[in-house]
Amino acid sequence: MKRFVLATAGLAVAGLLATACGGQDAAAGHDAPAMPSMSSSPTGSAPSSPTGTSAGHNDQDAMFATMMIPHHRQAVEMAEPAAKRASSAEVKRLAEQIMAAQEPEIKTMSGWLSRWGLQVPKGDMPSMHHGMEGMMSDDDMKNLEGLSGRAFDKAFLEMMIKHHEGAVTMAEQERSAGAYAPAKEMADAIVAGQTSEITRMKQLLRAG
């Protein structure tokens, strides 16, 4: 099921990256390739094959960065109010920790995509929510906004556990199939850091 979900999200990402590659070809006065790969060449040469590498990265690396950016953005969107509104000091500290870890990673991954000649995801990218592991729906986010006190803490922890589990799944795929060393190192950090946070959040839920 996880492979199916990631594959579904991959279709949305492929469309985004194909648009970016197509726009570059049009600007150069050439027709866009019928089936552009996830990676594009910074020298303007033909796109690499689906499993090939360009500038030390492959399609999995491009997929990882393109999917993880909006995934991280939503985690930050949940953590920001939690850092202020949570009733538990532990939940507040956790939310601050999440923002401190994920905001720099968003900037780093955006830099990778820019250097690879690929489009950095804009805004919330709602079209990807239904296919990306662990993403919350608009209704989930609105429900969180309407809560306070212990009810807010409980909902935040339950949502963030699911969200982190999705990020770990995505990072594990990058570790196994990626080629770009910095991306694989970030994936290692995500798996280690967010797995630890999942354990911590489950403990907070049990403690009530």
What burial class does residue 182 get, using C-beta atoms within 10 Å of its C-beta: 0-12 exposed, 13-18 middle, 19+ buried?
middle
DSSP state of 128: G
Q: pTM for the whole thing?
A: 0.75
Tokens 């296919």 — which residue? 131
Structure tokens at 186: 């970030």
What's the CATH code of the domain at 66?
1.20.1260.10
For the chain, how many structural domains are there in total? 1
Per-residue pLDDT in tens (0 to 9) along the chain, 208 residues: 444 344 444 545 555 554 444 444 433 333 333 333 343 333 333 333 334 455 699 999 999 999 999 999 999 999 999 999 999 999 999 999 999 999 999 999 999 999 999 999 987 555 555 568 899 999 999 999 999 999 999 999 999 999 999 999 999 999 999 999 999 999 999 999 999 999 999 999 999 7
Structure tokens at 66: 């393109």
Tokens 């790969």 — which residue? 37
The pLDDT of residue 30 is 38
Residues 6+ away with beta carbon under 8 Å from 100: none
How far CA 17 is from CA of 71, 83, 165, 172, in Å, comes to 17, 34, 25, 22
Question: Dihedral of CA 181/177/48/117: which sign?
Answer: negative
The C-alpha atoms of residue 186 and residue 163 are separated, in whole angstroms, by: 17
Please count the other Cβ atoms lying within 10 Å of the Cβ belonging to residue 4: 9
The pLDDT of residue 52 is 45
Please count the other Cβ atoms lying within 10 Å of the Cβ belonging to residue 30: 12
Question: Dihedral of CA 138/195/185/101: which sign?
Answer: positive
Tokens 């839920």 — which residue? 205
| Domain of 116, in residue numbers | 2-207
Structure tokens at 131: 């296919």
The pLDDT of residue 127 is 52
Tokens 């866009």 — which residue? 32
